[in-house]
């Protein structure tokens, strides 16, 4: 099976001289094609730093990151920008939709920037809005949508270019339970049916229970990992809660 993410001895240090903070302590991890991996940990554990490094938003102090076989550290900024557009999809807690564009225009924006032909652009958009249950909203603007509808629009935008890796940062953090469930079920279906590789940072054990594997980070290091295997989602949820209690706090205390 193809490896999508290969991170080796990733260290991230902020500050200088007497005021130094080590956010990540030589973390190594790999994510294979078709996995749905969650990242959890207490506030300040380094999980968001790790996501930012994998997303090319930040650079490690030392170590090597390969995404889809490409060494991120070997690329210049213009190359990284093209790599983000073509290979990575992003789902943020605050949606990051453009208010002046309709739902459909927001979704196809990455394809427009990549100068994809109109017919293929329309085909991809139509397929995704049906799958995510927002086909009736394509002409509306973000201010006319609920939080759940905005996040499903953002999810469609993240995957419309068929990226190698989808990075989700607290995607259910601003949603009510019904909208969160709808989004997670859509992402799980995408993962299972299309073998889309997803890496999701979350504080929520319910959201994490949709993953196939979870990495728990504490104090800049991988504390442990859980693999769902043949467990039901409820059984996996209970296992996640067990680990969170060992880490020092309930799910509501983790960000």
Higher pLDDT, 43 or 11: 11
| pLDDT bracket for residue 255 (50, 70, 90) | very low
Q: Average pLDDT of 130-158?
A: 93
Q: Which two tokens stand for residue 60?
A: 């490690």
Whether 249 has a pLDDT exceeding 70, the answer reads: no
Rounded to a whole number of angstroms, the CA Rg of the chain reads 18
Q: Which two tokens stand for residue 26?
A: 């030589």
| pLDDT bracket for residue 18 (50, 70, 90) | confident
Predicted confidence (pLDDT) per residue in 213-227, tens digit: 999 999 999 999 999
Q: Average pLDDT of 228-239?
A: 95
Predicted confidence (pLDDT) per residue in 114-142, tens digit: 888 889 989 999 999 998 999 999 999 99
DSSP characters for 21-59? EEEEEEEEEEEETT-EEEEE-STTSSHHHHHHHHTTSS-
Distance CA 25, CA 185 (A): 34
**Environment class of residue 230 by beta-carbon count within 10 Å: exposed (0-12), middle (13-18) or buried (19+)?**
exposed
Whether 254 has a pLDDT exceeding 60, the answer reads: no
Whether 250 has a pLDDT exceeding 70, the answer reads: no
Q: Which two tokens stand for residue 139?
A: 């002409």
Q: How many CB atoms lie within 10 A of CB 115?
A: 7
Q: How many CB atoms lie within 10 A of CB 78?
A: 8
Establish how many alpha carbons lie within 13 A of residue 131's alpha carbon, considering only the half-sphere containing its beta carbon. 21
What percentage of residues in the chain have a pLDDT greater than 90? Answer: 68
Distance CA 168, CA 66 (A): 18
Q: Which two tokens stand for residue 72?
A: 């991120």
Q: Average pLDDT of 228-251?
A: 87
Whether 193 has a pLDDT exceeding 50, the answer reads: yes
pTM reported for the whole predicted model: 0.89
In contact, 53 and 131? CB cutoff 8 Å: no
Q: Average pLDDT of 101-126?
A: 90
In the chain, what are the domain boundaries?
Answer: 3-248
Q: Can you give the pLDDT at residue 96? A: 87
Q: Average pLDDT of 3-31?
A: 92
Q: Can you give the pLDDT at residue 237? A: 96
CATH architecture of 3-248: 3-Layer(aba) Sandwich (3.40)
Q: DSSP assignment, residue 16? A: E
């Amino acid at each position: 099976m193809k490896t999508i993410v290969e991170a080796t001895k990733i260290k991230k240090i902020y500050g200088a001289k007497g005021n130094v903070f080590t956010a990540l302590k030589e973390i190594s991890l790999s994510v294979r094609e078709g996995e749905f991996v969650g990242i959890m940990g207490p506030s300040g554990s380094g999980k968001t730093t790790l996501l930012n490094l994998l997303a090319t938003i930040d650079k490690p102090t030392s170590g090597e990151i390969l995404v889809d076989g490409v060494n991120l550290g070997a690329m210049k900024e213009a190359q990284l920008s093209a790599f983000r557009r073509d290979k990575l999809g992003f789902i943020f807690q605050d949606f990051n939709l453009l208010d002046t564009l309709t739902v459909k225009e927001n979704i196809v924006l990455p394809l427009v920037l990549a100068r994809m032909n109109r017919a293929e652009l329309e085909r991809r958009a139509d397929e995704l809005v049906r799958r995510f249950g927002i086909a009736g909203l394509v002409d509306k603007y973000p201010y006319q949508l609920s939080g759940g509808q905005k996040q499903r629009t953002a999810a469609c935008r993240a995957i419309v270019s068929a990226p190698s890796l989808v990075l989700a940062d607290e995607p259910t953090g601003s949603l009510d339970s019904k909208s969160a469930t709808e989004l997670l079920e859509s992402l799980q279906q995408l993962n299972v049916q299309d073998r889309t590789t997803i890496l999701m940072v979350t504080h929520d054990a319910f959201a994490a229970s949709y993953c196939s594997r979870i990495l728990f980070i504490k104090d800049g290091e991988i504390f442990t990992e859980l693999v769902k295997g043949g467990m039901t989602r409820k059984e996996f949820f209970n296992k996640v809660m067990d680990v969170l209690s060992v880490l020092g706090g309930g799910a509501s205390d983790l960000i």
